[in-house]
Amino acid sequence: MADFQSRAGDFQAAGIRLLAISVDAEEHAQQTVQALQLTYPVGYGVSSSDISESTGAYFDAEKKFLHATGFIIRPDGTVAGGVYSTGPVGRYTAADALDIVTAWSKPK
How much is the pLDDT for 99? 92
What CATH code is carried by the domain that includes residue 75? 3.40.30.10
Higher pLDDT, 107 or 98: 98
How much is the pLDDT for 108? 65
Q: For the segment 21-77, what is each residue's pLDDT rounded down to a tens digit? A: 999 999 999 999 999 999 999 999 999 888 889 888 888 888 878 888 999 998 888
How much is the pLDDT for 32? 96
Residue 9 domain boundaries: 2-105
What HEC string does 37-87 produce?
Answer: CCCCCEECCCCHHHHHHHHCCCEECCCCEECCEEEEECCCCCEEEEEECCC
CB-based contacts of 12, cutoff 8 Å, min separation 6: none
Q: How many CA atoms lie within 13 A of 16 on its CB side?
A: 23
**Least confident window among 5-9, 81-85, 101-105:** 101-105
Number of compact structural domains in the chain: 1
